[in-house]
Structure 1
Amino acid sequence: MKSLPWPLPALLAWGAAWLLSLVLGRYLPALWALLLACALPVAASPWAVGWWRRALLAAGFPLALLLSDAAPVAGWVWLAPLALLLLVYPLGAWRDAPLFPTPRGALSALGAAAPLPVGARLLDAGCGLGDGLIALRQAYPEAHFEGIERSRLLQWLCAWRCPWAYVRRGDIWEADWASYALVYLFQRPESMARALAKAQTEMEDGTWLVSLEFAVPEAVPVATLKLAGDRTVWLYRIERRDIRHANSRQLAAEPTAGHRARGYFGR
């Protein structure tokens, strides 16, 4: 279950619980059938990643039962929440972060930790409703702000909330990060190694990759900002790729001292 993109594990568990309640309802009293069906997603919840996903997986089916008993509706009406979920959270974005906003003031100290020139271009990769862009603007009031969001609905809402930013619809992994001085993410732990690899491939030397909450595995940040609630902002400065690549070529070819001198000073 941990390998499945969210929210597929929750949908599978809730669907299995619903089918189980139908089957058990033929052989057991209705109350026992519902109790056993509700126990299924609860038993499956430890396999979800993160406490909030475990809670949502465990409570989703019982909550749906309570709502349906309180206000019985036609079965097709329950497709409306699923349609809204797909509109806000398209299938292609299931491997990225859920809709969690950047807390107010979370990036207030970022300008001092990662200074940028006036007019620098900043990208909020996966901008959601725009809370990250608003926090970035507080840290860099004279920068140029851009956001990218896969969900069309969230892109519209973000553009409405942040008229001073250029917000477009797209895939953060297919977008080109080369022109940005700083890329900000509030993604998932599983996404961070990929994000740093993309930044090191596309971004210029001396630029910044900033992550709220989740660090890049086995990568040493230049700085960290501690927030309330044990949250952390991780700052990674993009290394000089030309020096790293030059050193790699030098070790692979093992040139002579004269060749090394010509190769270094001849550029």
Structure 2
Amino acid sequence: MSGATPSRTWLRWLTPWPLSALEVWVLAWVVHQLLQPWGPIGAWLAAAGVGAALALMFAARWRRLIVALGFPVSVLALGSQGALPAWLWLLPLALLWWLYPRRSWSEAPLFPTPAGALQPLPGHAPLAPGARVLDAGCGVGDGLRELVRAYPQAAVEGVEWSRPLAWLARLRVRQARVRQGDLWADDWGAFALVYVFQRPESMPRVWAKACAEMPPDRWLVSLDFAVPEVEAVVSWALPSGQLVRVYRPVRNAAAMPPK
């Protein structure tokens, strides 16, 4: 089976995310309708249980939460809206798809950088005035805002795949230059510091890209997730329990984490 996990094996019948979430929600509704003879409470519990059980097959916790809550939230929404059509609960999915297009679901979920998280950064990673700083995957701009506060003399930039989110980030952080684009297609060699708030699965790729493109006197900063098998130059904990880690890219194949 070439190392396939049980959850991935069972999920082969599902289409890619986020359509797989829709499939689970539809199945929960089918179960709910078929079990109406059990009574409304029994049918609801069974359908919610099916949704929760299938949610456990997803690897990411945030996806599990979205899948598990889809059916109960839709029932509550429909119950409070009276005679509105049953398909109305699909509208939030359409909105989510527009805000966060399919390609973005393979990257980090939309979680903000906490206020003050990067305040100590200039003391550990000093930059010359006018240095270029990149928030790779800037979302709605929380990380950009903290980078501008930390480095008011720097040229702070952000790149975000979702056009609506890039527009919101541009609107919220006027001091930064924000563009829609692919963070993996950028050349990081032009930046003195690159900041990421990705997923654990993305960190080996982030490190490989930084080491391949950035000179060794530059900085890579990661919130919450470490580069496997690589020791940070410095790190500090936030009140939320998250960690900020600062790395120096190394142009040496031996420094790359194992795949």
* Short-chain TM bin: 0.7 to 0.9
Q: CA separation in 2, counterparts of 1:2 and 1:217?
A: 23
1:45-70, CA deviations, whole angstroms, 9 ceiling, x for partnerless residues? Answer: 43444554444332231121011111
Q: Which residue among 20, 34, 45 is the counterpart of 2:31?
A: 20
Question: Does 1:163 pair with 2:163?
Answer: no
The counterpart of 2:50, out of the listed 27, 40, 64, is 40
Counterpart secondary structure, 2:179: strand
- One-letter amino acid of the counterpart of residue 36, structure 1: A
Residue deviations 1:112-170, cap 9 Å, x none? 11111111100001111111011011111110011001111111111111112110001
How far apart are the structure 1 equivalents of 2:226 and 2:19?
25
Q: 1:133 aligned to 2:144?
A: yes
The answer on 1:69 being equivalent to 2:82 is no
**Is 1:94 the counterpart of 2:105 in the alignment?**
yes
In structure 2, what is the equivalent of residue 106 of structure 1? 117
CA contact under 8 A between 1:9 and 1:48: conserved in structure 2?
no
Q: Secondary structure at the match of 2:78?
A: helix
1:144-155 equivalences under 5 Å are 144-155=155-166
Task: Compute the TM-score of the two structures, normalised by the length of structure 2.
Answer: 0.85
Secondary structure at 1:63 match in 2: helix
**Aligned sequence identity (%):** 48
CA shift in 2, pair 1:216/1:12, >3 Å: farther
The structural deviation recorded for 1:207 is 0.8
Does the aligned pair in 1 maintain the 2:51–2:68 contact within 8 Å?
A: yes
Quick one: distance in 1 between partners of 2:101 and 2:60? 21
Measure the CA separation in 2 of the matches of 1:130 and 1:42.
33
Task: Give the 5 Å matches for 1:1-267.
Answer: 1=7, 7-25=18-36, 28-49=38-59, 51-72=61-82, 73-239=84-250, 241=251, 244=252
Q: Tell me, yes or no, if the aligned pair for 2:158 and 2:177 is still in contact at 8 Å.
A: yes
Distance 1:121 1:103 in 2: 22
Distance 1:166 1:2, change over 3 A: farther
- The 2-side partners of 1:199 and 1:32 are apart by 54
Amino acid at match of 2:67: L
Decide whether the 8 Å contact of 1:13 with 1:57 is kept in 2.
yes
Q: Classify the secondary structure of the residue corresponding to 1:132.
A: helix
Post-superposition offset of 1:233: 0.5
Maintained 8 Å contact 1:182/1:208: yes
Task: Give, in angstroms, the shift of residue 238 of structure 1.
Answer: 1.0
Q: Is the 8 A contact 1:42 1:58 kept in 2?
A: yes
Residues 5-27 of structure 1, C-alpha deviation per residue, up to 9 Å, x if partnerless?
654553333222122223333x5
Query: How many angstroms does 1:204 deviate by?
Result: 1.8
Indicate the SS of the match to 1:235: strand
**What CA distance in whole angstroms lies between the structure 1 residues aligned with 2:35 and 2:219?**
56
Let me know the Cα RMSD of the aligned residues: 2.2
- Which residue is 1:265 aligned to? none
Q: Deviations over 1:31-54 (max 9, x none)?
A: 322210111122234344455444
Q: SS of the counterpart of 2:230? A: coil
- Structure of higher CA gyration radius: 1
